Amino acid sequence: MKNNLFALLLCALFSCNTSVDQNNPNIIVIYADDLGYGDVSSYGVGTLETPNIDKIANNGVRFTNGYASSATCSPSRYALLTGTYPWRNKRAKILTGANLIIDTSEMTIPKMLKTKGYETGIVGKWHLGLGNTKIDYNKKISPGPNEVGFDHSFIMADTQDRVPTVYIENGYVVNLDPNDPIEVNFKNDDYGLPSGTKNPELLTMKWHHGHNKAIVNGVPRIGYMKGGEKAKWSDIDMADKFLDEAKKYIDKVKNKPFFLFYTLQQPHVPRTPHPRFVGSSGMGPRGDVIKEADWCIGELYNHLEENNLLENTIIIISSDNGPVLNDGYYDDAVEKLGDHTPAGKLRGGKYSLFEAGTRVPFITYWKGKTKPQVSDEIVTQIDFLNSFSTLVGSDINSSDGVDLSDVFFNNKGDGREELVLEATTRTAFRSGNWVMIPPYPGPAKNYNVDIELGNSKEYLLFDLESDLSQQNNLANSNSEKLQEMISRYQEIIGKESSKVEQLILE
């Protein structure tokens, strides 16, 4: 008792720093947008250099079989935060001005961590929807990140290519002038405002497909927006802004255990590097914004080091889906690519059921705890909830997630055996080194983005061990394996399957 009192007194005197508690490490998930497996140089398959990510990757665990749940953004983010397969939630599709797709009663990583005393924050892209009815950006916007577990949020609502082009902090549009209210419109094509189609003379970036409505900062966007002049973000300063907000958040909460979801906007379109990075990659704006993102990650790392937080902070770096070059703007991504391979040797890309859609850079790092390693274990972002839960001593679990805390943080144990992959509401199945993609209607390729989608009239079956690039369909030659894969896949998809079929046909 005496000792306890003494400890309490010391605590009061020196303002106890709970973040040195090894059972409650800080957790930072850095989540890039559309960063491909080959876009990180430590993966050794592309030619773009990412020295800051490499430093973390080479000192942490670099997973070669790490997956986002989906080949697009909103479903992947949904799955990451809830530990639930996105095809169980029919609203988990690419969102545009949509309402919140996480039910406020659902378990999430930040909610689970809060039960263990964590501070929880998100800075960056959200893209999980806001509100329950038509969103009024001039009032408190709710529910949103703060209603599904985040104590603090500084976000852009959807993506950089969608209106409203404003930041939202804890439910309120930043710098909103009440005399200049914001109106947003995604449907009416005659909204009367300058747009990509009507006013090409105002454009500093040309649209290729979609993205032909409101012009903000010379860039045409998806949807129209009126008002909110003072609240509009500066595209070229976005990376600096999010970094600054992330650092500010860390400074504010560093005396407690904290979780930060730092969701970078790069290299999603429109690619608007700060002038400091223009030309830095020699690959045009797509390469330049990856250089910018890499720099931001280095700055965040330095900030943790300067604040003596590195030893007790887990850093995870990954991406929400695979790479795309032309995602709707003429920005030289294709022309200046040179011999860089954003997808490495993987087939497909963003939107695709082939490997490059979902297999992404995936790095875990915990200074002094996790030893440098390259791991071929199969791991997914769906597993973060259960793994973090074990780490902090919680018994909260999702049923789709697997506890991979040993694989992520202790250099031991086995990864997953199997995984359902998702791409624009279609699903495929990986088990061991085998991948089965069921037949789907629709074009084999999206010619706008120049990506093979994985649609085919036949079942596709690949052995990734001997055929990483998914060139040899073994469905006919190995019908036994195919049947085994189909049965297990159907078993997992189970009663959800009719719903999924319906979505696919929509």
Binding mask 283-322 for ligand NG6 (x = CB under 6 A): --------------------------------------x-
Q: Which stretch binds Ca ion (CB under 5 A): 284-292, 314-322, 403-411, 442-450?
A: 314-322
Location of structure tokens 């694989």: 407
Burial bucket for residue 496 (CB in 10 Å: 0-12, 13-18, 19+): middle
Binding mask 242-281 for Ca ion (x = CB under 5 A): ----------------------------------------
Angle at CA 382, nearest 5°, toward 130 and 263? 50
Both tokens assigned to 83? 């530990």
What stretches of 353-417 adopt beta strand conformation (E)? Answer: 362-366, 373-380
C-alpha 16/C-alpha 324 separation (Å) is 47
Q: Which stretch binds ligand NG6 (CB under 6 A): 174-182, 186-194, 209-217, 236-244?
A: 209-217
Instruction: Write down the least CB distance from residue 327 to ligand NG6, Å.
Output: 4
| Contacted entry of Ca ion, ligand NG6, none for residue 94, CB cut-off 5 to 8 Å set by kind | ligand NG6
Location of structure tokens 């935060």: 81
Q: Among residues 140, 209, 252, 371, which is the contact residue for ligand NG6, using CB under 6 A?
A: 209
Q: Which stretch binds ligand NG6 (CB under 6 A): 52-60, 79-87, 106-114, 206-214?
A: 206-214
Closer to ligand NG6 by CB, 110 or 328: give it: 328
Which residue's Cβ lies closest to ligand NG6? 210
Binding mask 39-78 for Ca ion (x = CB under 5 A): ----------------------------------x-----
Closer to Ca ion by CB, 34 or 377: give it: 34
Coil, strand or helix at 308:
coil
Closer to ligand NG6 by CB, 268 or 274: give it: 268
Closer to ligand NG6 by CB, 210 or 298: give it: 210
Residue 33 as a binder of Ca ion (CB under 5 A): the answer is: yes
Closer to Ca ion by CB, 33 or 355: give it: 33
Angle at CA 320, nearest 5°, toward 170 and 467? 170
Neighbours of 84 (CB within 10 A): 23
Name the CA radius of gyration of the chain, rounded.
Answer: 22
C-alpha 446/C-alpha 433 separation (Å) is 27
- Using CB under 6 A, count the residues that bind ligand NG6: 17
C-alpha 213/C-alpha 198 separation (Å) is 9
Residue 230 as a binder of ligand NG6 (CB under 6 A): the answer is: no
Q: Among residues 69, 159, 386, 455, which is the contact residue for ligand NG6, using CB under 6 A?
A: 159
Closer to ligand NG6 by CB, 289 or 391: give it: 289
Closest CA to 300 of 366, 245, 363, 243: 243
Closer to ligand NG6 by CB, 33 or 355: give it: 33
Q: Are strands 119-125 and 373-380 parallel, antiparallel or unpaired?
A: unpaired
Closer to Ca ion by CB, 321 or 358: give it: 321
Residue 222 as a binder of ligand NG6 (CB under 6 A): the answer is: yes
Q: What is the 3-state secondary structure (H, E, C) of 111-171?
A: HHHHCCCCEEEEEEECCCCCCCCCCCCCCCCCCCHHHCCCCEEEEECCCCCECCCEEEECC
Phi, psi (degrees; rounded to nearest 5) at 458: -105, 160
Closer to Ca ion by CB, 94 or 193: give it: 94
Burial bucket for residue 3 (CB in 10 Å: 0-12, 13-18, 19+): exposed
Which residues of the shown chain bind ligand NG6 in the complex (CB under 6 A)?
33-34, 72-73, 94, 127, 159, 161, 209-211, 222, 268-269, 321, 327-328
Which residues of the shown chain bind Ca ion in the complex (CB under 5 A)?
33-34, 73, 320-321
